[in-house]
Amino acid sequence: MSHTPLGLKPALGWNSWNTFTWDINEQLIREVADRFVSDGYKDAGYEYIVIDDCWSLKERDAEGNWIVDSNKFPSGMKALADYIHSKGLKFGMYSCVGTHTCAGYPGSFEHEFQDAKQLAEWGVDFLKYDYCFKPRHMSGELLYKRMSLALKNSGREILFSACNWGEDNVYQWIRESGAHMYRSTHDIQDQWESIKKLALSQLDKTSYTGSFCHNDMDMLVVGMYGGSNNGFIGSKIGGCNDLEYQTHFALWSMMGSPLMIGCDIRSANEAAKATLLNPDLIAINQDLEGRGAYRIKPEPQWFHTNEVFILVKVLTDGDLAIGFFNLSDDQREISLQFWDLGLPYASGFSLSLYDCWEQQELGVFTERYAPTVPGHGSHVVRAKLARR
């Protein structure tokens, strides 16, 4: 197997937080690893299995080492890492720049190099690094540089996933810090309004994402249907429908976000699986050049709303990924003039379009394409130049 450099493309994986929050254990993580293999997630490219907050005891030992919660993880982290690796997958864990994690467990402040060494010894491949309990006199920028340096010198390749929720102008310094991805948003909720708010908040930030430092719009809620054990994330607010989950997945894919599944894949239904495993959307997300998408305001310009827009991602092979997004509540025709893609009529080219959700060819179009998209819906095509 050829070796892909760490962080070249947006990470693909699963994270325990959205559904399970504090209620995690090694059996669950092993079963998720099994499902990655048996249900096609691994073949689709998903790789990292990440334990979020709440895996340790509340105090460190006398030498300042973390103590794994042996009720939740009786075999320890090394054994769990070995199991995950035996499936050809990678193992992720979680800590925090501050004195404590967001849920009140020991953070890595002033333990950065010790913790990085411990993670390497356990065989960890990915560290999500949160922003709670940051000492006020320290800059977050410096603390991310610290852990980045510690990880890069830990003796193991560990992908560094920064999680400071888009605060403190993270866009301006995170790439230089050495992080491979960075959370740009506050926590997602399993609810349409949350998906919409997060996506809209990143539309003017697309030039910051790219290879080796990807804009992480937060873990996916696809397939949760309100099934979190946490009221804020989902159980009190009811979840989304399949169309909304598709739109969510299309936005995250087109905008180059890492795709970290947040549902319980052991009980995912067929609709959720079809969304999460869509090969054409994943290919767009994983396109080698890793370009951000640009936005086009659809014609006619008179309906001026930021809830209806087109995203275009220039792909490595010359194709264009084009997403028509209707985040409003009512059905819309969304009209794209090919002129706005840099394709004048006089070029002699039309576009041959392939529908990524329906997975079928749509035919050849000249000058203009105007699909009708339902409220909360998306239509994503892969466009190839075709000489007339």
Residues labelled catalytic: 130, 187
Q: Which of the stretches 97-105, 119-127, 333-341, 348-356 binds ligand GLA when contact is defined by CB under 6 A?
A: 97-105
Selected from 51, 163, 322, 336, the binder of ligand GLA by CB under 6 A is 163
Alpha carbon distance 46, 37 (integer Å):
10
* Cβ within 8 Å of residue 44, ≥6 positions away: 12, 276, 277, 279, 282
Alpha carbon distance 91, 87 (integer Å):
11
Task: Please state whether beta strands 320-326 and 214-216 pair in parallel, antiparallel, or not at all (unpaired).
Answer: unpaired
Does position 244 bind ligand GLA by CB under 6 A?
no
Radius of gyration of the chain (CA): 21
Selected from 14, 17, 182, 338, the binder of ligand GLA by CB under 6 A is 17
Q: How far is the CB of 274 from ligand GLA (least distance, A)?
A: 26
Q: How far is the CB of 165 from ligand GLA (least distance, A)?
A: 6
Selected from 6, 28, 103, 314, the binder of ligand GLA by CB under 6 A is 103
Residue with smaller CB distance to ligand GLA, 52 or 319: 52
Q: Is the peptide bond before 300 cis (omega within 30 degrees of 0)?
A: yes
SS3 6: coil
Q: How far is CA 370 from CA 244, 300, 318, in A?
A: 21, 11, 22
Could you tell me where the beta strands, DSSP code E, fall in 42-118?
48-50, 90-96
Residue with smaller CB distance to ligand GLA, 48 or 309: 48
Q: Which of the stretches 101-109, 142-150, 361-369, 380-388 binds ligand GLA when contact is defined by CB under 6 A?
A: 101-109
Q: Which of the stretches 5-13, 98-106, 169-177, 373-381 binds ligand GLA when contact is defined by CB under 6 A?
A: 98-106
CA atoms within 13 A on the CB side of 276: 30
201 to 240, contacts with ligand GLA by CB under 6 A?
none
125 to 144, contacts with ligand GLA by CB under 6 A?
130
Q: How far is the CB of 216 from ligand GLA (least distance, A)?
A: 10
> Which residue number places its CB atom closest to ligand GLA?
102
Does position 187 bind ligand GLA by CB under 6 A?
yes
Q: Compose the 28-67 pattern: x for residues touching ligand GLA by CB under 6 A, - for all others.
A: ------------------------xx--------------
Q: How far is CA 283 from CA 183, 209, 271, 355, 380, in A?
A: 22, 17, 19, 13, 12
Token digits of residue 288: 């080698």
Residues lying near ligand GLA in the complex (CB under 6 A)? 17, 52-53, 101-103, 130, 163, 187
